[in-house]
Amino acid sequence: MRNRSRPKTKLFWIAYFASLILAGTAILEGGLRWFIHVRHGVPGKTYGLWRYDNVLGAQHQEDAYNTRAQTNDYGFRNVEAVIDPKPAGAVRVIAYGGSTTFCYNLSDTESWPAKLEQLLRSMRHPADQVLNAGAIMWSIGHAFARAQKDIPMLRPDLVIIQSGVNETRNAVQLAAQGVDLSSLVERGTYGAFATNLDQNRWFKRNVAVVRLFDYQVLPQLYRWNLISQRGTGGVLLKRYDQPADPAVVHNYLEVLRRFIALVRAYGGVPVFFVQSHDGRYASNEIRVAYSKAGAELARKLGATVIDGWQLLDEYPGPATDLFHQSGYHFSALGAERAAELLYRILYVR
């Protein structure tokens, strides 16, 4: 009889400890959410910046917030809702790109799209609006997919495209999904984008404890060399100091061509904002190589091109003042001067 009861005893203790772990996790989850709500909660908005999307895998949640940012009724990184209908005489601008547009290291009001809006409202029309459609880790393919939904609905007067630094990573993430971007390009198929990014994980989008682990615990483990940082699917991320892949560049340019055509098809003016860096890391030259190539194409297509390198030429101090520690994301000062450059070229000259 004793032998027969041992499996049941083991199952009991397994279930008991599992229930303790689940209960502890639930308590921690509830505590974290309460703390975040008290510190960062926004009336009428829900915690968690991402939601599932059947095309992109994940997209910014509408009317949401996290510890640093919030989104509006269309999922743009804006404090206020889209002004619709647009008032007579006002302009509507949408800025597309990755984290350099989203400005993850800055507050909602410090990002360069927000600074541009502030300038427009003070100097031009009080209802001018600049909508921030940037998203962390998005390639130009991701941005174009979103733009195909936004632009026909909102018909912006101006669309600013600032993209390029995530193209290599997009190709690597696609490879982890079993998709060879080079093969697609050879067949004339452009615009493929990865749907296995970090924010596409259900647990990352919905569980605060997972975010705590990813943002606080994992960085320490990396710094202590206890684990190696690997891409999705166990594929090591390519070093960014390798030459830009010609197939990836070709894909980027073809998507940009279609992006510019889409903007014009709905009556908007396309603007290409060239990415730059402070020279701190040689690898950043490869990151911005796509944007440099995009500037050449945009000029040929007659789009307005605003050169981010002009910021460095005009600033009297060290270039590092204008950038975050990554070397290619703007600092608060850099975002402010970027907005001034955009305003000056687009609305003053």
| 3-state per-residue secondary structure call for 109-127 | CCCHHHHHHHHHHHHCCCC
pLDDT in tens, 97-108: 999 999 999 999
Model confidence at 117: pLDDT above 90: yes
* Residue in the block written with tokens 């199952």: 11
Instruction: With 0.75 as the threshold, say if the pTM is over it.
Output: yes
**Percent of the chain scoring above 90 in pLDDT:** 79
Q: Residue ranges of the domains in the chain?
A: 1-40, 44-348
Task: Match 């070093």 to its residue by tokens.
Answer: 239
Q: Quick one: average pLDDT of 113-130?
A: 98
Query: CA 117, CA 123: separation in Å to the nearest integer?
Result: 10
End-to-end CA distance of the chain: 92
Confidence band, pLDDT 50/70/90 cuts, at residue 14: confident
Please give the structure tokens belonging to residue 145. Answer: 């997919």
Give the pLDDT confidence score for residue 235 in this predicted structure: 39
| Average pLDDT rounded to a whole number, residues 13-33 | 87
Q: Would you say domain 44-348 falls under CATH 3.30.160.340? A: no
Percent of the chain clearing pLDDT 70 (strictly above): 93
When mean pLDDT is compared across 12-16, 245-249, 327-331, the lowest value belongs to: 12-16
List pLDDT tens digits, range 62-82: 999 999 999 999 999 999 999
So what's the pLDDT on residue 232?
A: 40
pLDDT at 228: 65
